[in-house]
Amino acid sequence: MLETAAAAAAASASSPRAAAAAVVSSPRRGGAAAHHHRQWSPPPFRACLVVLWLVGFGFVILWQGTSVGRVRLYTRPPMPKRAAASLSLGQWVASPPVYDLREFGAVGDGRTVNTAAFESAISAIAERGGGRLTVPAGRWLTAPFNLTSHMTLFLAAGAEILGIQVSSDLVSNKFGHNGTINGQGQSWWVKFRRKLLNHTRGPLVQLMRSSDIIISNITLRDSPFWTLHTYDCKNVTISETTILAPIAGAPNTDGIDPDSCGNVVIKNCYISVGDDGIAIKSGWDQYGIAYGRPSANITIQNVVIRSMVSAGVSIGSEMSGGVSNVLVENVHVWDSRRGVRIKTAPGRGAYVTNVMYRNITLENVRVGIVIKTDYNEHPDEGFDPKAVPTIGNISYTSIHGHRVRVPVRIQGSAEIPVKNVTFHDMSIGIVDKKHHVFQCSFVQGQVIGYVFPVPCKNLDLYDERRELVKQSTLQNISDIDYSF
Ligand SMILES: *[C@@H]1O[C@H](CO)[C@@H](O)[C@H](O)[C@H]1NC(C)=O
Ligand SMILES: *[C@@H]1O[C@H](CO)[C@@H](O)[C@H](O)[C@H]1NC(C)=O
Ligand SMILES: *[C@@H]1O[C@H](CO)[C@@H](O)[C@H](O)[C@H]1NC(C)=O
Ligand SMILES: *[C@@H]1O[C@H](CO)[C@@H](O)[C@H](O)[C@H]1NC(C)=O
Ligand SMILES: *[C@@H]1O[C@H](CO)[C@@H](O)[C@H](O)[C@H]1NC(C)=O
Ligand SMILES: *[C@@H]1O[C@H](CO)[C@@H](O)[C@H](O)[C@H]1NC(C)=O
Ligand SMILES: *[C@@H]1O[C@H](CO)[C@@H](O)[C@H](O)[C@H]1NC(C)=O
Ligand SMILES: *[C@@H]1O[C@H](CO)[C@@H](O)[C@H](O)[C@H]1NC(C)=O
Ligand SMILES: *[C@@H]1O[C@H](CO)[C@@H](O)[C@H](O)[C@H]1NC(C)=O
Ligand SMILES: *[C@@H]1O[C@H](CO)[C@@H](O)[C@H](O)[C@H]1NC(C)=O
């Protein structure tokens, strides 16, 4: 497994689809042969990053407070302390080099195009096998650029990276003193709406086939398309991140899209965007089935989301690699069309299983909890309609809220029945209608203790001591009503 991951990580730097991507990949990249006899190896990359990050704060202070010389200290390669063979990998032995973007001629006036400065800084870091690029306060206009492995892009307070409005796909990543990456997506949204684009728009930050990534304390705004797309990545932490886009008229500006990723933590974030806040995915129909890379072990905690045109937290609709072991906890969804949603369709195959929602607050939301199994959008005619997904083992615990029109709409079908859904401790203030607001079809599961509004007849009822009160015989009846 690890070898595969390493190979995939190595591929990332040269994959064309890594364009405009912030690629931070595994320390194992660089070719298997070179590694076989090496005597020194870097610490696990997660540790590297954390160290870099902490050291980073020191540097920012030092650098701002005292001398540029301190930074320059690292502009020459450190003396090698080990065999030349593995040095070709370019790993640093002492401290990682630290560069300031201005050393490469960049000007942060919001008008000068700094793409070349970013590129030379990053190739300097690549040559050294890693390091840190500090982007100081200022407005740094640039076309898309690639990151490299073992790199920290550190945005100081007041730093803003601005995407050029005319280029094809966009910019890069990540953590620091709550600096901003601004995709300036307005012109893209307009072109998309007028159908003037021949290609898909680029995400603002894209990480592909990489591992051990930390994105923290940064603001990402006005992405042309999805804001932060992690694709086929492992060990990703996204925290203290603010993601903003207009809540209307900014098509497809999803906040975070973990896509075929394992071990992802998203916590302490604020997201207000023009599409889904967070959308967990794993590939689309026959292509996703063939690629076969699930999204699994995903934790979303302490996140506030507004999604006026779509959903707070979505799973799917592209889930053909499978989605499992998802915890969504302490999440507040407000002024949104949907709260937490699972979407799929025949043709997707795979599964969505072991999903736990806990302590979810819904405020002014049209439909709170959604499972939809007929989302029939397909990439082309080549999908297999017999590839039906299985959906089950989903629990909703401590779900509260007010001003919700339809708290629950779980729409299984004869082909894709929804199995083993559990509700425990739910009370949601509804807007007006008192009937048909807990809608179900083809769903099997249970309600434990008191739940408001009154649950659909499809579910078995248990008391708080987990003793059966009433077993349902009507799992397949349908009470789905789209009229409100
Ligand atoms: C990023 O790297 C890939 C592969 O090396 C390359 O094809 C692509 O053009 C680069 N993108 C940019 C924006 O430099
Ligand atoms: C985030 O950035 C702010 C603004 O510069 C800074 O004060 C704060 O210490 C940073 N927080 C963390 C957790 O890094
Ligand atoms: C980061 O900046 C945004 C505004 O750009 C602000 O809303 C947010 O509270 C800041 N986050 C932190 C952690 O300082
Ligand atoms: C899209 O393609 C058409 C026809 O191939 C071409 O005329 C047009 O300039 C292209 N538009 C863009 C924005 O590239
Ligand atoms: C992910 O992190 C775990 C624990 O920190 C580590 O054991 C594992 O090797 C990492 N996986 C990858 C692919 O880097
Ligand atoms: C999820 O976690 C389990 C148990 O720790 C592990 O076996 C599995 O490989 C992980 N899945 C992914 C996609 O990382
Ligand atoms: C529930 O989540 C909210 C945030 O939405 C948080 O403020 C609260 O402390 C959480 N409650 C518990 C019991 O964890
Ligand atoms: C639910 O979990 C059980 C036990 O892990 C498993 O056997 C079953 O296949 C799962 N059902 C669904 C629909 O995911
Ligand atoms: C139902 O799902 C719960 C998790 O929500 C799981 O613990 C339990 O084993 C499942 N039961 C069956 C019969 O699959
Ligand atoms: C409901 O439909 C499913 C298939 O879609 C079937 O397996 C199940 O037996 C039906 N349940 C009842 C109670 O009729």
**Bridge partners for 182 per DSSP:** 162, 221
Token output for 312: 């707070």
Which of the two residues, 38 and 156, has the higher pLDDT score?
156
pLDDT at residue 210, rounded to an integer: 86
Of 218, 240, 242, 244, the residue with max ligand 3 atoms within 8 A of its CB, to mutate for a pocket test, comes to 242
Question: Tens of pLDDT along 304-334?
Answer: 999 999 999 999 999 999 999 999 999 999 9
**From the CA of 192, how far away is ligand 4's center (Å)?**
13
Asked whether residue 481 is assigned to any structural domain, the reply reads yes
The answer to whether residue 421 scores a pLDDT higher than 50 is: yes
Looking at ligand 2, which residue's alpha carbon is closest to its atom 3? 177
Domain count, the chain: 1
CA of 217 to the centre of ligand 2 (A): 6
Q: Would you call 382 exposed, middle or buried from its count of C-beta atoms within 10 A (0-12, 13-18, 19+)?
A: exposed
CA distances from 79 to 17, 93, 206, 333, 477 (A): 35, 8, 34, 53, 73
Query: What distance in Å separates the CA atoms of residue 143 and residue 149, rounded to the nearest whole number?
Result: 20
163 domain residue, yes or no: no
- Kindly indicate the confidence band of residue 145, based on its pLDDT and cuts at 50, 70 and 90: confident
Peptide bond into 407 cis (omega under 30): no
Nearest ligand 7 atom to the CA of 331 is 5
Query: Is there a domain that residue 82 lies in?
Result: no
Q: Is 59 helix (H, G, I), strand (E, B) or coil?
A: helix
What is the longest distance spanned by two Cα atoms in the chain?
Answer: 77
Which residue type does 92 have? W
- Which sign, positive or negative, has the C-alpha torsion 465, 466, 472, 476? positive
pLDDT at 432: 78
pLDDT 10s digits, 270-305:
999 999 999 999 999 999 999 999 999 999 999 999
Q: Which residue has the higher pLDDT, 50 or 425?
A: 425
Q: What's the chain's Rg over C-alpha atoms?
A: 24
Rounded to an integer, what distance in angstroms lies between the CA atom of residue 170 and that of residue 205? 7
* pLDDT classification of 29: cutoffs 50, 70, 90: very low
Residue type for position 185: G
Q: Work out the pLDDT band at 94, boundaries 50, 70, 90.
A: low
Q: What is the pTM of this model?
A: 0.82
Tell me what the pLDDT averaged over the chain comes to.
Answer: 80
- Ligand 1 shell residues, CB under 6 Å: 14, 16, 18-20, 144-146
Which range (19-28, 349-358, 387-396, 449-458) has the least confidence? 19-28
In the chain, the percentage of residues whose pLDDT exceeds 70 is 78
**Residue 443 is assigned to a structural domain of this protein:** yes
How is 406-446 classified by DSSP, letter by letter? EEEEEE--SSS-EEEEEEEEEEEEESS--SS-EEEESEEEE
Would residue 2 count as lying in a domain? no
pLDDT at residue 243 tops 80: yes
Range of the domain at 380: 276-484
Which ligand is in closest contact with the Cα of 216? 2
- Which residue owns the Cα nearest ligand 5 atom 1? 235
At 176 the pLDDT is 58
CA 480, CA 476: separation in Å to the nearest integer? 12
The question of whether 100 is a catalytic residue gets the answer no
- Assigned domain for 471 exists: yes
Q: Is residue 108 part of a domain?
A: no
Q: What are the CA-CA distances from residue 10 to residues 6, 41, 131, 147, 405 (Å)?
A: 6, 16, 18, 13, 49
Nearest C-alpha neighbor of 269 from the set 230, 238, 237, 241: 241
Q: Do the Cβ atoms of 261 and 283 come closer than 8 Å?
A: no
CATH number assigned to the domain comprising residue 361: 2.160.20.10
Q: Where are the beta strands (DSSP E) in 104-178?
A: 109-113, 131-135, 138-142, 151-155, 159-163
- Give per-residue pLDDT as tens, 55-66: 222 222 122 221
* Catalytic annotation, pick one of 169, 275, 285, 460: 275
Alpha-carbon distance 148 to 45, whole Å? 14
- The ligand whose atoms approach the alpha carbon of 395 most closely is 9
Query: 3-class DSSP state for residue 383?
Result: coil
Question: 379 CA to middle of ligand 8, Å?
Answer: 29
Considering the domain boundaries, does residue 51 fall inside one? no
Atom of ligand 8 nearest to the CA of 390: 13
